[in-house]
Structure 1
Amino acid sequence: MPLSVLHVSMPVEAGVAAYVSAAAADQVRRGWRVTVAAPPYGPLRDRLAALGVTHLAWEAARSPGLSTVGEARALRRIVRGVDPDVVHLHSAKAGLVGRLVLRGRRPTVYQPHGWSWLACQGAMTRAAIAWERMAARWTAAVVCVGDGEAAAGRAHGLSARVVRNGVDLARFVPADEDDRLRARAALGLPEHVRLALCVGRVTRQKGQDTLLRAWPRVLGACPDALLVIVGDGELRAGLEDEAAAGVLFAGARSDVRPWYAACDVVVMPSRWEGLPLTALEAMACARPVVAFDVPGLREVVSEESGALVTAGDLDGLTHALAVRLLDPSLAWREGQLAALRSKEFDAGATMEALARLTAEVAGQG
């Protein structure tokens, strides 16, 4: 009998959605019976439909609350109907609801994609850590996407298996100067502007608020620079209202490859990360990455392929961006080295490792 896997995800866009759809597609190709339970909207639903993967509607809010009771009932019905060999829970909300529902009665994989307590403050941080410790007893395997994420778990007594994130190197390929000009023409961007790109949900985690505080200083050094923020999220409206000149909010995009091709440098001012697909995609497209030095990003970005800046250091962020915007040859050289580095993060190896772990959890390894 083919292995039956149920993936559960509340996020339906950005990196988690891309990961879930890639894992589902890989497992379908292996002949497994794969189902994804997720909210019935957004890019994830569309990707699954294009792949022919079964999608079941699971309405879920981002944060715990009164709706969690109904979410648990709905997920219990889905699990009973699918009757999977393995349930794979992605991110904090699915990890919470799924483990409360299953309580270890089925082989359960939990993949935080960034630990829940990193988004909390004060007593909520302690409560989130305590929950993760308690829920570990109901989890056959915790999967971290990078060594830094796993180390953060170990620091709080949580053991995890590392299956590093990977990038589809057949889809994300180095972009040359002709590609840059074509992408800018297609996107309606000026040909000669110096362009910094920030891709990701517009949230506290991704740090676009910090980047916008630094941007006027970047413009002071490089007046013809343009910052493009690709993505949507709960902070977008407020940040868009407050943004200074030289900033374009492009919204969420189903295909970010033209934006990587169009830019000179990618910036990631994240407060925390697991191991971000955005950085890997940018590097595979031969673009240097300027990032805050946090776990996950420091596993990917090196001084040869961009710059790591002390988290929250506006002067350091300004300098790192301005240097690359003012020196296209430096940005180009770093981009070429970034493309070479990205080959160490091939998605094929990631999915092979995940399949082995899933089969092992199901007792078929």
Structure 2
Amino acid sequence: MHLVQPVDGGVARVVTDLVRAQAAGGLRVVVGCPPGGRLADEARDAGAEVLTWRAGRAPGPGLPAEVLGAARLVRRVRPDLVHAHSAKAGLAGRLAVRGSLPTVFQPHAWSFDAVGGATAALALRWERFGARWADRVLCVSESERREGESEGIAGHWSVIRNGVDLDHFRPGRPDPEQDRAEARAGLPLPDGLRGDGPLAVCVGRLCPQKGQDILLRAWPELLGAVPKARLALVGDGPDGERLRRTAPPGVFFAGAAADIRPWLRAADLVVLPSRWEGMALAPLEAMACGRPVLVSDVSGARESLPSGQGRLCLVPPEDPTALAKALGRLLAEPRLLAELGEQARQHARTDFDVRRTADAVTGLYHELLGRPRPSNQERISR
């Protein structure tokens, strides 16, 4: 049973990919999640039984009811194993189960990174205490695991990196220039952004974590070096209205996209200036489409890039000036971008296949349950 609070964004996509692979492998898969968003429908289509678990994104006075709701789902489903995703489900799920069932907790970035002050201190205290009720703390990058250890979380650790569907995320055409031109022709870009200048694309929920405000502060400085550069922000979220009010010229807010591939393929460069991550999916998806990425040096970022690209494609978090300089260097060099994009495509296809990720997670389940894993032939026959 997957217990999940975020019903959109990267966590929801990770869970849907796991559900699809696990259901195809013969597991009975149940997802407990709040109504709304994309997760319920997509998990159901992927083969899961979906049950409603009412939970808010932030901790608060509703927590006791959320824990009771999680406990009711566990009693109803009677799963062999509970896999709790992200901070809220990790909190409520572990309190509901308290070691009575094998439990995997996957933080998808640490809760104490998302808040400050006394709230961060409380979140860290909980993570240290709650680790006793996780048979395995599953991190999506080595840096995420190291951060947990350095903060005193005494977990039983596994690291399984995120992956993407390489059949879904791939170049639309073999020639990158033709692929870009075709993708741009089909996008709802305003006339003012349809020029011949380079296009940077940022895909992510409009929220403090993803750092679009840092990118908007960097953009005017970037235009001094690359005057024809354009920027598209793809996604929506709680910061949308504020970001629109402060956006400089040359920035287009595309809103949420059911299919982000045309935006990735249209880009000369995909940028994600996050404040914190576990291992972000958008850069992996961009690389699988053959596009270079520029990311802030947070958890998982270095591990996601091809070897040797860190010097050009990593910037310090929360540093608009460094971001502007890196954008200027890259967007002014089309040949360099083409070379980095091809390296990124090969790297994604070699290292970030979601089938490998899902197989490793299912193998972890079998390990915790003390059961032998099915052989490859048994999995194929299913």
Q: Deviations over 1:222-255 (max 9, x none)?
A: 2221111111221111111211111111112221
Aligned to 1:24: 19
Q: Could you tell me which of 251, 254, 257 is aligned with 1:250?
A: 254
CA distance in 1, matches of 2:18, 2:195: 37
What TM-score, normalized by structure 1, do the two folds share? 0.95
Q: Secondary structure at the match of 1:294?
A: coil
Q: Could you tell me which of 178, 186, 194 is aligned with 2:198?
A: 194
Aligned to 1:171: 168
Question: How far off its partner does 1:304 sit?
Answer: 3.1
CA distance in 1, matches of 2:83, 2:47: 19
Moved more, 26-35 or 325-334: 325-334
Q: Could you tell me which of 335, 342, 366 is aligned with 1:359?
A: 366
Question: How far off its partner does 1:59 sit?
Answer: 1.7
Aligned to 1:156: 151
Instruction: Confirm or deny: 8 A CA contact 2:23 2:46 kept in the other structure.
Output: no
Instruction: Confirm or deny: 8 A CA contact 2:29 2:47 kept in the other structure.
Output: no
Q: Secondary structure at the match of 1:250?
A: strand
Moved more, 192-201 or 259-268: 192-201
Question: How far off its partner does 1:274 sit?
Answer: 0.6
Question: How far off its partner does 1:12 sit?
Answer: 0.9
Question: How far off its partner does 1:60 sit?
Answer: 1.1
Instruction: Confirm or deny: 8 A CA contact 1:184 1:191 kept in the other structure.
Output: no
What TM-score, normalized by structure 2, do the two folds share? 0.91
Q: Could you tell me which of 244, 249, 271 is aligned with 1:240?
A: 244
Instruction: Confirm or deny: 8 A CA contact 2:19 2:47 kept in the other structure.
Output: no
Moved more, 258-267 or 46-55: 46-55
Question: How far off its partner does 1:191 sit?
Answer: 5.8
CA distance in 2, matches of 1:154, 1:320: 31
Structure 1 gap segments, 5+ residues each: 1-5
Question: How far off its partner does 1:315 sit?
Answer: 2.1
**Residue type of the alignment partner of 2:240:** R
Is 1:185 the counterpart of 2:147? The answer is no
Aligned length: 360
CA distance in 2, matches of 1:347, 1:300: 14
Q: Deviations over 1:31-71 (max 9, x none)?
A: 11101011121121221232232111112110011121221
**Residue type of the alignment partner of 1:167:** V
Aligned to 2:216: 212
Instruction: Confirm or deny: 8 A CA contact 1:43 1:254 kept in the other structure.
Output: no
Q: Deviations over 1:113-156 (max 9, x none)?
A: 00111012122222111111111111111100000000001112
Instruction: Confirm or deny: 8 A CA contact 1:291 1:301 kept in the other structure.
Output: no
Aligned to 2:351: 344
Aligned to 2:331: 325
Aligned to 1:299: 303
Is 1:313 the counterpart of 2:310? The answer is no
Identity %: 47
Indicate the RMSD between aligned Cα atoms, in angstroms: 1.5
Is 1:227 the counterpart of 2:227? The answer is no
Question: How far off its partner does 1:157 sit?
Answer: 2.7
Structure 2 gap segments, 5+ residues each: 373-382
Q: Could you tell me which of 341, 347, 354 is aligned with 1:335?
A: 341
CA distance in 2, matches of 1:236, 1:361: 42
Aligned to 1:3: none
